[in-house]
A and B are shown apart, each in its own frame.
Chain A
């Protein structure tokens, strides 16, 4: 049998969080907790560092602002100069509203694309989504901890014992 990982179902967020602390302290690296909503404190319990999405947002915003300023200068002050009311051909003030909107537009795309890239989404297939119990729980009212068989510390018996001692009532192997 080709197994993806060992899945342990927990009934409450506190149980899942305590289990996560133990799995973290046991030194596992390829594991995750699947929850129907973000559980606060779980990031620390899993030892996850701060998300890097902000960098994508920043790069998006900087690109948007620069694009706006350069586009407006190029169109109205370089490629085809139009004199309107004797005003200067280019001024950052009249170019600001559009550049401001483009900053926000590009930064928003940056955030969403950054989130998708960091999460390796979209994906059309995941071994866990073929498991009936997982689908009925992780997006509904259960908290499911999964340790992948690919983890260097994974050992079918030891890992199962660890999850059972953490208080899971249901542990099963998920096929790949």
Chain B
């Protein structure tokens, strides 16, 4: 750009902040300085570990070891150690897979879609939410791999490698689309998260005192110097990654829903599945973001950065997506009746009033009733209340996948092959153990990497704006 000509602003023009009644509530409270932000956020990784950290890590890694034990038992014995039977061949395994992959979606929504929509409040929560995405995808990835039985053959089913008859994988199968969707999602989320981390890794490198830390942070910071010529390319790459992650995240849960919708099973074979699954995924993911961040903002003293307003905004997303989910539940029932397919109608009656009625009504009470409490500002701003509701959202969304998978499978066209699924202790311990993996990874992340995007939060403060008096703008001066 050739903006070589100066445009002097007449001295009668006063550069003043907008009047107080027009100012939005600030994103960083107490007018914290730019330096305070890096000191405070990097300080979480630098000081001695907080007292609760090691006990928490011990509990979560014990759960992780339990999961590894269960997986070892499963692989050495066979999938019969789970409660699977005919006709319920998919149960907790795929329920857990869809549950975890859905949780990841909030991270990408915050980091990509809110970025494209210029929602500046995302900067306080996007790093932790993206980390949550990665760890949730890691938990999700375990289940489809271990549910196949002889997992040493999985290498021929997942990537396109010909088997011993030289036959390739079948690309007409949505299960294979899923392999590509989930692995692309995991990879792109990692790239996006890492790209966001580069400037903060440079901050950590410049602050590090130990040689090993300095080398490791420096190695991964790629020699970042904060050069504006670099920032220019960096911001473009970040914008493009956000633009790519948006259609990606919408496609991932759509393709997960194809695993069901493309089949002929009553209760699965519906066209509403893709949008319904995506909304449910975002809903559950925000539940998990709040379950993680509400305790952390108190424990790590981040109240000035993750403010009550941030929590309230996330509650509004839960309210919006929860309403879509509630609408989808209603519409499924309506179409089951209106569509005139007796098998479909029977499947839905069986959902609500069959032997698994308790799962259905747990789902309805957690997913349809809970989010509507967030219409009230008082409740959105009560941290303990929001935390409890976020847990219920997670429970409800796990039940949703259980309802879709198990209830649809246990009674299909032939009454002679109806059955009932009961989980075994291996099912339960593997699922609990996956939380161990998730929490262990998250605890390690928050201890060794900046949990909040330092450079991005700095960028949304008034001190960072060269046109704001706090950013140094002077009366009558203009670029």
Q: Which of B246-260 contact A (CB under 8 A)?
A: 247-248, 251, 255, 258
**Cβ distance A24 to chain B, nearest Cβ, rounded Å:** 7
Known contacts A13-B466, A94-B171, A97-B181: does B166 contact A24 (CB below 8 Å)? no
The CA of A87 and the CA of B170, in the complex, are separated in Å by 12
Taking a contact as CB atoms closer than 8 A, the residue among B160, B225, B456 that contacts A126 in the complex is B225
Q: Do residues A102 and B222 form an inter-chain contact, with CB atoms below 8 A? A: no
Q: Which of A21-65 contact B (CB under 8 A)?
A: 21, 24-25, 32-54, 57, 61
- 25 A-B pairs within 8 Å (CB atoms) are namely A11-B472, A14-B471, A14-B477, A38-B232, A42-B231, A43-B1, A44-B3, A51-B237, A53-B237, A82-B170, A95-B171, A97-B181, A97-B255, A101-B184, A104-B184, A104-B244, A104-B247, A104-B251, A108-B244, A119-B233, A123-B223, A139-B199, A139-B203, A139-B207, A141-B38
Q: Do residues B251 and A97 form an inter-chain contact, with CB atoms below 8 A? A: yes
The CA of A46 and the CA of B181, in the complex, are separated in Å by 41
**Cβ distance B13 to chain A, nearest Cβ, rounded Å:** 15
Known contacts A17-B479, A80-B162, A123-B222: does B466 contact A48 (CB below 8 Å)? no
**Cβ distance A40 to chain B, nearest Cβ, rounded Å:** 7
Determine the residue in chain B with the shortest Cβ distance to A16. Answer: B466
Residues of chain A within 8 A of B167, CB atoms compared: 80, 82
The dominant DSSP class at the B interface is helix
Q: Do residues B472 and A13 form an inter-chain contact, with CB atoms below 8 A? A: yes
Residues of B at the A interface (CB closer than 8 Å) are: 1-4, 6, 33-35, 38, 160, 162, 166-172, 174, 176-177, 180-181, 184, 187-188, 191-192, 195, 199, 202-203, 205-207, 218-219, 222-237, 240-241, 244-245, 247-248, 251, 255, 258, 454-456, 458-459, 463-467, 471-474, 477, 479
**Cβ distance B377 to chain A, nearest Cβ, rounded Å:** 32
Q: Do residues A72 and B171 form an inter-chain contact, with CB atoms below 8 A? A: yes
What is the total number of residues of chain A having a CB less than 8 Å from a CB of chain B? 79
Known contacts A47-B3, A53-B237, A54-B236: does B226 contact A104 (CB below 8 Å)? no
Q: Do residues A32 and B227 form an inter-chain contact, with CB atoms below 8 A? A: yes
List the 5 shortest-distance A-B pairs measured between CB atoms, nearest first. Answer: A12-B472, A14-B472, A122-B222, A115-B237, A51-B236
**Cβ distance A30 to chain B, nearest Cβ, rounded Å:** 11
Known contacts A14-B466, A100-B251: does B172 contact A140 (CB below 8 Å)? no
Q: Do residues A80 and B479 form an inter-chain contact, with CB atoms below 8 A? A: no
Known contacts A13-B472, A45-B479, A115-B237: does B171 contact A37 (CB below 8 Å)? no
Q: Do residues A49 and B1 form an inter-chain contact, with CB atoms below 8 A? A: yes
Q: Do residues B228 and A139 form an inter-chain contact, with CB atoms below 8 A? A: no
Does A1 count as interface, using CB distance less than 8 angstroms? no
Q: Do residues B171 and A141 form an inter-chain contact, with CB atoms below 8 A? A: no
Does A150 count as interface, using CB distance less than 8 angstroms? no
Taking a contact as CB atoms closer than 8 A, the residue among A42, A98, A107, A126 that contacts B180 in the complex is A98
Residues of chain B within 8 A of A105, CB atoms compared: 184, 187-188
The CA of A157 and the CA of B459, in the complex, are separated in Å by 34
Determine the residue in chain A with the shortest Cβ distance to B35. Answer: A141
Taking a contact as CB atoms closer than 8 A, the residue among A11, A94, A112, A141 that contacts B191 in the complex is A112
Residues of chain A within 8 A of B454, CB atoms compared: 36
Number of A-B contacts (CB under 8 A): 240
Residues of chain B within 8 A of A104, CB atoms compared: 184, 188, 244-245, 247-248, 251
Q: Do residues B472 and A121 form an inter-chain contact, with CB atoms below 8 A? A: no
The CA of A25 and the CA of B230, in the complex, are separated in Å by 21
Known contacts A51-B233, A136-B206: does B223 contact A41 (CB below 8 Å)? no
Determine the residue in chain A with the shortest Cβ distance to B229. Answer: A32
Does A138 count as interface, using CB distance less than 8 angstroms? yes
Q: Do residues B172 and A94 form an inter-chain contact, with CB atoms below 8 A? A: yes
Residues of chain B within 8 A of A139, CB atoms compared: 38, 199, 202-203, 205-207, 224, 226
Which residue of A11, A15, A61 has the most chain B CB atoms within 10 A of its CB atom?
A: A15
Residues of chain A within 8 A of B248, CB atoms compared: 101, 104
Q: Do residues A108 and B191 form an inter-chain contact, with CB atoms below 8 A? A: yes
Residues of chain B within 8 A of A119, CB atoms compared: 227, 229-230, 233-234
Q: Which of A76-107 contact B (CB under 8 A)?
A: 76, 79-80, 82, 84, 87, 94-95, 97-98, 100-102, 104-105, 107
Residues of chain B within 8 A of A108, CB atoms compared: 187-188, 191-192, 241, 244-245
1/0 per residue A122-140: CB within 8 Å of B? 1111101100000110111
Taking a contact as CB atoms closer than 8 A, the residue among A32, A42, A115 that contacts B236 in the complex is A115
Determine the residue in chain B with the shortest Cβ distance to A117. Answer: B233
Taking a contact as CB atoms closer than 8 A, the residue among A82, A84, A140 that contacts B35 in the complex is A140
Known contacts A71-B160, A76-B171, A125-B223: does B202 contact A43 (CB below 8 Å)? no
Known contacts A46-B228, A84-B172: does B223 contact A112 (CB below 8 Å)? no
Q: Do residues B228 and A39 form an inter-chain contact, with CB atoms below 8 A? A: yes
The CA of A122 and the CA of B176, in the complex, are separated in Å by 35
**Cβ distance A128 to chain B, nearest Cβ, rounded Å:** 6
Known contacts A105-B184, A105-B188: does B240 contact A36 (CB below 8 Å)? no
